[in-house]
Structure 1
Amino acid sequence: MVQLRQNIQDVVKVLIVFALCTCVFYMALRLVHEEYERQHRYDPPSGAAVKVYHPLEQRWPDRLSIFFQLGE
């Protein structure tokens, strides 16, 4: 009987520690999320940024041919 009670106490202790650690982890994730939500991700770049994508003007038959060749 004493062994059963000791086992139940151990299980309850583990569950309490698990619940506390889960709550701390959840709060930490919320703090990190709030910090990243404040940043403006879609602001135009500043400094010496260079645009890399310059689409080439192609005729539509050429584009259609590439479409059929690549199977897209």
Structure 2
Amino acid sequence: MKLFWQTSKVFIMFVGFTILFYFAIVWFNEEYENYHRYDEPKGTAVKVFQSINDEEEPGWRERLFLFYLDGE
């Protein structure tokens, strides 16, 4: 009987922590689902990327070489 009681306590704790973990993940998912990270920045934001229009766009060979060079 003691073994049954200890086993059932472990099982109940496992189920309880599993349910708690599940609802924590659901809460984090709902929290970050409404986070719009691609919105326009507010305030005095500075553009950090500027394309260089002086040079012509690289051809397919240069792009393929860079693709192989980066290893992607």
TM-score of the alignment, normalized to the shorter chain, above 0.5: yes
Q: Deviations over 1:29-55 (max 9, x none)?
A: 212221222222221001111111111
Runs of 4+ in 1 over 4 A off after TM superposition: none
Q: 1:29 aligns with which of 25, 35, 42?
A: 25
- Structure whose alpha-carbon radius of gyration is higher: 1
> Secondary structure at the residue paired with 1:39?
coil
Deviates more, 1:12-21 or 1:31-40: 31-40
Structure 2: gaps spanning 5 or more residues: none
Question: How many matched pairs?
Answer: 66
Judge which range, 47-56 or 33-42, deviates more: 33-42
The percentage of counterpart residues that share the same residue type is 35
**Separation of aligned partners in 1, 2:33 and 2:63:** 39
Letter in 2 for 1:59: E
Q: Aligned partners of 2:64, 2:34: CA distance in 1, in Å?
A: 44
Higher-helix-fraction structure? 1
TM-score, normalisation: structure 1:
0.68
Match of 1:59 in 2: 56
What is the root-mean-square deviation in Å for CA atoms of aligned residues? 2.1
